Amino acid sequence: MARPLRIEFEGAFYHITSRGNEKKAIFRGTEDFARFLAAISRANERYGILVHAYVLMTNHYHLLIETPSPSLTASLHDLNTAYTNYFNRKYNRVGHLFQGRYRCILVEKDAYLLELSRYLHLNPVRAGIVQRPEDYRWSSYRSYVITLPLPAWLRTDAVLGQLSVRKPEARRRYRLFVKDGLKGAISNPLKQVIAGVALGGTKFWEETREKIEKFRQDDEIPTLKEVSRRQNLEVILHAVERFYGVSREVLCQKKRPSHPATQVAMYLARKKTDLSLIEIGACFGGRHYTAVSAAHRRTEFRRQRESNFDKEMTKIEAKLQ
């Protein structure tokens, strides 16, 4: 089995998720949930990992963790192994408990930690288990909105500190922030993950790419090929954003008629990357591959007929060099 890419460095933030093998339950009762939290405590004592948010569902879990030292692989192996050993002993079973390797995404702390914590805390509500996140016992949400003694491994300050320096006010604002998420469908921030590796802005992605470089010669990691293919698209998107003064949300949303800059970005993606039409369409709000092909034809036609537009395109392309 090919190894997934693990980028480990001091002070990194990650979203971690792992699902039960064959989507079967990994938590069958109260003791199971409690023992998993105890396994987190063990990983904290051994490797120093800190958890900024968590939600334990019946057949999977989500963690937002920080690694003060580069210990991601060791700490997650310790966590999953310790819990698997407990679970197998208790239920007289053998073999893997989790489905393959855990999924790991590097997260830009300041830009996405707040939004991602809300999305995770609303998991039990979206699943129809409870109507309010505070009614779910096995998540960190109560620790955010109620004054409770925190375990040594749980931190709420990084998220709450983005709302107010005063803890009571920060708790109040966070409760309202999450409550707003109950009023309607909120976007899944995980859909903005770049190449399955990182969740963050352009600068963060560039920094992440630099950290990836040392793995370049490792042919066992297929993610590297994906990163190299998509890094050019990220450069294209950034250049088009700057040139036309539009946001990434406007550029990549699926809307009819699409923004002129979107047409340009899809054209350049088709011309400058080796991504397929389907892959490009997925990056622009899930457009059909025929829409990408049409955008390429229309833009090329404009370049041939409109000299001013062709000069614009030439300027953008120069920024891609």
Are 171 and 279 members of one domain?
no
Which CATH number covers residue 119? Answer: 3.30.70.1290
Query: Has residue 85 been placed in a domain?
Result: yes
Q: Which domain holds residue 253?
A: 231-319
Answer yes or no: is 306 within a domain.
yes
Q: Residue 160: which of 223, 118, 130, 123 has the closest Cα?
A: 118
Residue 18 burial by Cβ neighbours in a 10 Å radius (0-12, 13-18, 19+): buried
Does residue 187 sit in the same domain as residue 235? Answer: no
Specify if 207 maps to a domain. no
Q: What are phi and psi of 241, to 5 degrees?
A: -55, -50
Cis status, amide bond into 257, omega within 30 of 0: yes
Tens digits of pLDDT across the chain (321 residues) = 445 567 888 889 999 999 999 889 999 999 999 999 999 999 999 999 999 999 999 999 999 999 999 889 999 999 999 999 999 999 999 889 998 888 999 999 888 999 999 999 999 999 999 999 999 999 999 999 998 889 999 999 999 999 999 999 999 999 999 999 888 777 788 888 877 788 888 788 778 877 776 655 554 455 555 555 555 788 888 889 989 998 888 888 877 778 889 999 999 988 888 777 887 888 888 888 888 888 888 898 898 889 999 999 998 888 876
Q: Which two tokens stand for residue 23?
A: 């989507």
Specify if 292 maps to a domain.
yes
Paired tokens of 128: 């129809």
Q: Which residues pair with 106 in a beta bridge?
A: 14, 198
State both tokens at 25.
Answer: 């339950």
Tell me: do 31 and 174 sit in the same domain.
yes
| Domain stops at, among 133, 163, 191 | 191
Does any domain span residue 51? yes
- 25 and 131 both lie in a single domain: yes
CATH of the domain at 297: 1.10.1750.10
Question: Are 79 and 158 contained in the same domain?
Answer: yes
The pLDDT value given to residue 41: 95
Q: What is the Cα gyration radius of the chain?
A: 22
Under DSSP, is residue 186 helix (H, G, I), strand (E, B) or coil?
Answer: coil
Say yes or no: 161 and 38 in one domain. yes
pLDDT of residue 1: 42
Count of structural domains within the chain = 2
Quick one: 99 and 180 in the same domain?
Answer: yes
The pLDDT assigned to 2 comes to 46
Distance CA 234, CA 44 (A): 35
Please give the pLDDT value at position 250.
Answer: 84
187, 237: one domain: no
196 by Cβ neighbours in 10 Å (0-12 / 13-18 / 19+) ranks as middle
Nearest CA to 65 out of 147, 144, 140, 176 is that of 140
Query: Global pTM?
Result: 0.69
- Is residue 249 included in any domain, yes or no? yes
**Residue 146 token pair:** 């109620």
Residue 63's beta-bridge partner residues?
A: 16, 54
Q: Looking at the structure, tell me whether residues 43 and 185 fall in a common domain.
A: yes
Please indicate, yes or no, whether residues 181 and 239 belong to a single structural domain of this protein: no
- Among residues 191, 223, 257, the one where a domain terminates is 191
Of the residues 191, 222, 248, the one at which a domain ends: 191
Q: Are 194 and 107 in contact (CB under 8 A)?
A: no
Q: Are residues 163 and 255 in the same domain?
A: no
Q: Do 169 and 310 belong together in one domain?
A: no
Instruction: Answer whether 98's CB lies under 8 Å from 20's CB.
Output: yes
pLDDT for residue 153: 95
- Rounded CA separation 258/247 (Å): 13
Chain Cα centroid distance, residue 180: 21
- Domain for residue 96, yes or no? yes
